[in-house]
Amino acid sequence: MGFAEKLKKDAAEIVSKVAGLDEKEVLGFLETPPEEIEADLAFPCFVLAKNLKKDPKTIAKELEVRSLPKGMLAEIKAEGPYLNFYFDWKKLSDRVLKNVLKERERYGSGKKRKESVLIEHTSANPDGPLHIGHFRNTVIGDSLARIFLFSGYKVKTEFFCNDTGKQIGIAVMEYMRNPEKGKKKPDWWVLDLYVKGNQELEKQTDKQKELEKIMTEFEKGNKSIRKLYRLISNSCLKGQKETLKRIGVHIDEYVHESSFFGKKMDSLIEKIKTLSDSRTEGKRIWLDLRSFGIEREFTLTRSDGTTLYPLRDLAYHLEKLKKADTNLNVIGTDQKFYFRQLISALKLLVPEKVKNYHVIFYEFLLLPEGSMSTRRGKFVSLDELLDKATEEARKIVEKKMPDYSEALKKRISKAVGIGGLKYAMVKVSPEKTYSFGIGDVLKFEGNTAPYIQYTYARASSIMRKSG
């Protein structure tokens, strides 16, 4: 039991004895007074007025006379209709500091739990570098994972890799035309293939048929085509992992969409066909979700029988829901309708399991730099953003710490620059659109990471000097 819980329990025990109420009932009534009141806890005597047939102010006075402080409660005092409790902050501070010094970084952590949590985040398409839209997703997901882990849960993180989509087919088509890797970071090399492939599609109409043939062969299981798809997606993932490493994020498992073909799809299709909300037209299969208030069809297979992304995503979710007691997914708000459809489909298939599935939606970042689209290569990459933030942080370090060694300057610049960006991603509620500039997130005053880092550095210095 933490200090806060212990203090509330002590207060509730005192009131329950002098007022004749159940201790749990009193706990529900205890409240934190408004800022202008110096007390730390308050019991509203209004709740006793009807039974005792007395004025709440009188009741508060009578309770004060009969109440004796205990533990870390220094004083109990009636103020108007409230019985107020005042903590012994000297005792409390001494005990807290002793625990902090003993437990250090583990102070405040939870005991190990049996419950498990799986968090899917980032899940960027493997068609180019991570951009700043992915960045907010990643930081929110990684922060949730760290919080649950710190609280004692068993935590696993996953990244669902869409390595079967049209964008990979375009990159494969371009690679077949020009199979040279070059010296670029692998995710940037894949972006070049994707952009050039799109340009070819726009210039030559026959390229569309070539792309369709590549995609059809992939789904049929053509080994050479599948090998090329995996080459492209794995190359891109390698580059994306390098970027994630720069920001201190590790993802436990990368699940490939391409693994959900063959028997897995066949058995899921058969199960879906048994649902009363399932509809078929030739080889095309969809779910009628009007019972959930959704008019649009949730299409799972095309008229030629080939599978669509929603079916493979359903298969992934069904597998994912088996892995943990609670599932979380971090997703952009532009996917809200799709996830409404997906969750409705899951409710038809696994109604009990889906109760512990939660989606955290986030709004996108607003930057004046330009579009997020990778189709023509116009986007703000996370690599560039990290470089710029570190570069600007270095200017501040040179000004404030000119005598530091080169190695220390580099380390501080990285910590301040990247830390500033990461904190900016979580200090604003995920549901809010966020517009920011690098200069704002690197300020040493206000609600910023550099201010927190500076405070931590000063506190650490005091602790070192105190021995």
pLDDT in tens, 242-252: 999 999 999 99
What pLDDT shows up at residue 365? 82
414 band by pLDDT with thresholds 50, 70 and 90 = very high
Using the predicted structure, report yes or no on whether residue 167 has a pLDDT greater than 60: yes
Using the predicted structure, report yes or no on whether residue 370 has a pLDDT greater than 90: no
Contact partners, residue 129, CB within 8 Å, separation at least 6: 185, 187, 188, 191, 239, 240, 243, 381, 382, 383
**What does the pLDDT average to over 264-272?**
92
What pLDDT shows up at residue 268? 95
CA distances from 207 to 128, 200, 213, 244, 263 (A): 21, 7, 10, 35, 32
**What does the pLDDT average to over 59-70?**
93
What is the pTM (predicted TM-score) of this model?
Answer: 0.86
Beta bridge partners, 253, equal 158
Using the predicted structure, report yes or no on whether residue 51 has a pLDDT greater than 90: no
234 band by pLDDT with thresholds 50, 70 and 90 = very high
Conformation bin of residue 107: beta by default, left when phi > 0, alpha when psi is -120 to 50: beta
User: Are 226 and 256 a contacting pair, CB within 8 Å?
Assistant: no
374 band by pLDDT with thresholds 50, 70 and 90 = very low
- Give the lowest-confidence range in 15-19, 223-227, 342-346: 15-19
Dist. CA 248–CA 16, nearest whole Å: 50
Residue of higher predicted confidence among 348 and 440? 348
**What does the pLDDT average to over 149-171?**
95
Q: Per-residue pLDDT tens for 211-225?
A: 999 998 998 889 999
Placement of tokens 């990459």 in the chain: 381
Domain ranges across the chain: 3-91, 116-366, 382-466
What pLDDT shows up at residue 1? 64
Using the predicted structure, report yes or no on whether residue 297 has a pLDDT greater than 50: yes
CATH assignment of 116-366, among 3.30.2350.10, 3.30.70.3450, 3.90.1490.10, 3.40.50.620: 3.40.50.620
Nearest to 29 by CA among 78, 82, 67: 82
**For the chain, percent of residues with pLDDT exceeding 70:** 97
**For the chain, percent of residues with pLDDT exceeding 90:** 76
Using the predicted structure, report yes or no on whether residue 419 has a pLDDT greater than 60: yes
Q: Which fold has domain 3-91?
A: Gyrase A; domain 2 (3.30.1360)
Beta bridge partners, 77, equal 84
- How many other CB atoms are there within 10 angstroms of residue 135's CB atom? 24
373 band by pLDDT with thresholds 50, 70 and 90 = very low
Dist. CA 148–CA 96, nearest whole Å: 23
Using the predicted structure, report yes or no on whether residue 341 has a pLDDT greater than 90: yes
331 band by pLDDT with thresholds 50, 70 and 90 = very high
367 band by pLDDT with thresholds 50, 70 and 90 = low
298 band by pLDDT with thresholds 50, 70 and 90 = very high
**pLDDT, averaged across the chain:** 92
Nearest to 18 by CA among 80, 81, 77, 68: 68
CA dihedral (452, 453, 456, 458) positive or negative:
negative
Using the predicted structure, report yes or no on whether residue 313 has a pLDDT greater than 90: yes
